[in-house]
Amino acid sequence: MNNSRYMNSVYSDMNDSLPKAFFMDIPKEIGNGKIKSTYTGQGIVLTDWKMNYLSDANVEGVNSDKYIQLMFCLSGEAFWEVEGDSRTYEIKKGEMRLWPGSGKNEYMCYKKNTDFVFRTIKLPLEYYNRIIEGYLDEDKENILSRGILENKSNMPLTPYVDFILEQLDGFKEYQGFLSDMYLDGKILELLTVYLKVVFDEGHMDKRYSDISKTDRGALIEAKKIIDSCEDRIPTCKELASAVNLSVSKFSKIFSKVYDKPVHSYIVEKRLENAAYMLIKTDMSIGEIAFKSGYSKPSNFSAAFKKRYGVLPKEYRTDFGYN
Three-state DSSP at 68 gives: strand
Residues 5-26 pLDDT 10s:
666 665 555 554 444 577 889 8
Round to whole Å and give the CA distance between 317 and 304: 15
Q: What is the pLDDT of residue 163?
A: 80
Round to whole Å and give the CA distance between 261 and 69: 34
Q: What is the pLDDT of residue 17?
A: 42
What is the number of alpha carbons within 13 Å of residue 67 lying toward its C-beta? 18
Phi, psi of 251 (to 5 degrees): -65, -40
Choose between 110 and 153: higher pLDDT.
110
Phi, psi of 91 (to 5 degrees): -145, 130
Q: What is the pLDDT of residue 321?
A: 56
Q: What is the pLDDT of residue 119?
A: 93
Residues 75-131 pLDDT 10s:
998 889 999 888 888 898 888 888 888 889 999 888 899 999 999 999 998 888 887
Q: Is pLDDT above 60 for 230?
A: yes
- pTM of model > 0.85: no
Domains detected in the chain: 3-201 (2.60.120.10), 208-319 (1.10.10.60)
Q: What's the DSSP call for residue 29?
A: T
Q: Is pLDDT above 60 for 152?
A: no
If you average pLDDT over every residue of the chain, what do you get? 83
Sheet holding 95-100, edge to edge: 22-25, 31-39, 45-53, 116-124, 67-75, 95-100, 155-156
